[in-house]
Amino acid sequence: MSETPESRRVKATPNPWDIGFGVVVLVGALLALFVWFPNDINGGFMQVSAIGRNEPGDAFFPILLALLLAGLGVLQIALPALGRALRTDDENPVIRTENLLFLVKFLGIVVAGLTVMFWLGPLTVAALNTPGLIEGSYRQYTDTAPYKYIGYVVGGFGMTATLIVWTEGRARRIALITVAGVLAASILIFDIALTNVLLPPNGEF
């Protein structure tokens, strides 16, 4: 059956969900760059070390990440207008219960993962302090293995692996190995190679 002018018009209409998602990402990235980071990060983008060498400052990686997200947000907004992400379903999509349930599940997994990432290290140190196995607060161990890795590894692996398993509908060994590999690589790069960078969330303590 040939397409009617009405059906062609529907297919040529950009999906508002695509544009809306891009706007949210772009606004969030801009707020981080111009509001959050200037008020929360003391160091600059680059800094001079004690031996006079230029190296990444406290704001280096957050700014790079925010710029990347801002670029992705712009692409998400622009692509529908260029005709590369066009709507092919209902002309007037509405938010359904399934959409809200998906959002609640997604946010629940992310919040749970970030909570574990933030609190597991301090709680572990506090638990070891009780019988006198170690002494001091978590702030003193934010650059000490294995304590500095506990929250990052457990929370990061749990959150990412759960999202992948949920999305794929099954647990694949290669997916779990990939998550572990990415975490290991990030530790090698950001914790070992770059000695002045603290893994999240250790910089917050």
Tens-place pLDDT, residues 35-86: 888 887 777 777 776 666 677 777 777 888 889 888 888 888 887 666 544 4
47 membership: H or E segment, kind and range: strand 46-48
Please check whether residues 43 and 8 belong to one and the same domain.
Answer: yes
Please check whether residues 101 and 90 belong to one and the same domain.
Answer: no
Structure tokens at 74: 């712009």
pLDDT of residue 85: 45
CA 187 – CA 175 distance, rounded (Å): 19
Amino acid at 58: D
Residues in the chain: 205
Domain boundary among 78, 94, 110: 94
Local mean pLDDT, 10-residue blocks, the chain (205 residues): 50 66 87 86 74 73 85 82 52 73 91 93 93 89 90 93 90 92 88 73 72
Where do we find the tokens 């925010």?
Answer: 66
Please check whether residues 189 and 103 belong to one and the same domain.
Answer: yes
Cα atoms in the Cβ-side hemisphere of radius 13 Å centred on 59: 18
Please check whether residues 90 and 110 belong to one and the same domain.
Answer: no
Domain boundary among 65, 94, 123: 94
Please check whether residues 118 and 198 belong to one and the same domain.
Answer: yes
Q: Phi and psi at residue 48, in whole multiples of 5°?
A: -100, 125
Q: Which domain holds residue 3?
A: 1-94
Please check whether residues 116 and 186 belong to one and the same domain.
Answer: yes
pLDDT of residue 83: 56
CA 195 – CA 176 distance, rounded (Å): 28
Please check whether residues 40 and 64 belong to one and the same domain.
Answer: yes
Please check whether residues 38 and 79 belong to one and the same domain.
Answer: yes
44, 4 contact by CB (below 8 A): no
Instruction: Count up the domains in the chain and report the number.
Output: 2
Assign 11 to helix, strand or coil.
Answer: helix
77, 22 contact by CB (below 8 A): yes
Q: Phi and psi at residue 132, in whole multiples of 5°?
A: 80, 20
What does pTM read for this prediction?
0.62
